[in-house]
Chain A
Amino acid sequence: MSDASRILNASGDNDLKVAEELLPLVYQELRSLAASKMAQEQAGHTLQPMALVHEAWLRLVGGGEKRFDGCGHFFAAAAEAMRRILIERARRKQTVKRGAGFERLDLEHADVAIHASDETLLLVNDALDKLAKEDPRVAALVNLRFFAGMTNEEAAAALGVSVRTAKRHWTFARAWLYDEIRRASDSA
């Protein structure tokens, strides 16, 4: 049995511990998958987070079936890992570009993380940390949808909540984050 399967099978007793144990495994797997994809593909290719997450799932857990319910821990860890990878990438690119002026803040095209400008991505990331302190469940949903690229239905199944509840979380999160980012960029 793989490490990831062992950790997942032991779930139930301590949710937080499961997520903590899974994160480094999933992070490493996703990072190496992302790196090899970026190396293979032509320049300009964008990452497909959900495809990477599925590939990591197959490699780490080996489940052939595509299902999201009951695998919440895995997907939560994968979304958090994906977020870290995208944020690291954005920070690195910003360091390289430093001195060349800021990228414009473009919230309109920040539909999913991989389409967002680096500047926007980092602002969403900071705002999301604040939201997580107020409501961790809402922040978990944002991770799944924005950073892992899940649909509302997939994210709802991964979190074990109804589609309607997930939709409500999402509506609130979008407004809250949009307001927070506007505020942060106004005062900058």
Chain B
Amino acid sequence: MDKPFKTVRQIFDEASELSDKASSERFVAEACAGDDSLRRRVEELLQAHDAAGGFMQGTLDGRKKSDPGTTTESIGPYRLIEKLGEGE
């Protein structure tokens, strides 16, 4: 948890921009070689990145969205922000 913030951030930034999971995992393993707690911390954050879904992803009603493919439909008190995936 208390690994040097800057190092964690640098590895996270690069890993999160890699398009496929395998190369992201490979990159993290190499960048954290020999430092298991650093690796665990980066992996924790990458997992949170994947799990975060719509958390903090929206902009306000009636304003331009910064991400393409978003909608402004509402259901009751909730607004549909983006499509996260489909059921199998």
Contact = CB atoms under 8 A, between A and B. Distances in A.
Contacts of B53: 107-108
A16 interface: no
Contact of A151 (B12, B49, B63): B63
Q: Which bucket holds chain A's interface residue count?
A: 20 to 34
A109 interface: yes
Contact of A108 (B46, B48, B55): B55
The listed residue with most B CB atoms (<10 A of its CB), out of A49, A110, A175, A182, is A175
A80 to B, nearest CB: 17
B44 interface: yes
A45 B58 CA distance: 18
B60 interface: yes
Contact of B55 (A110, A114, A135, A153): A110
Contacts of A152: 66
Contacts of A65: none
B66 A153 contact: yes
A174 B60 contact: no
Nearest to B16: A171
A112 B59 contact: yes
A175 B13 contact: no
B12 A111 contact: no
Given A107-B55, A146-B56, A171-B16, A179 B45 contact: yes
Contacts of A49: 60
B3 to A, nearest CB: 11
Interface in B31-77: 44-49, 51-66
B60 A48 contact: yes
Contacts of A111: 54-58, 79, 81
22 contacts: A48-B60, A50-B60, A110-B56, A111-B55, A111-B79, A112-B59, A124-B56, A135-B9, A142-B56, A151-B66, A152-B66, A153-B66, A172-B16, A172-B45, A174-B49, A174-B55, A174-B57, A175-B12, A175-B16, A178-B51, A179-B45, A179-B48
Given A149-B60, A174-B56, 14 more contacts: A49-B60, A50-B63, A111-B58, A111-B79, A112-B56, A112-B58, A112-B59, A124-B56, A151-B59, A151-B63, A171-B49, A174-B55, A175-B52, A177-B56
Interface of A: 48-50, 107-112, 114-115, 124, 134-135, 142, 145-146, 149, 151-153, 168, 171-179, 182
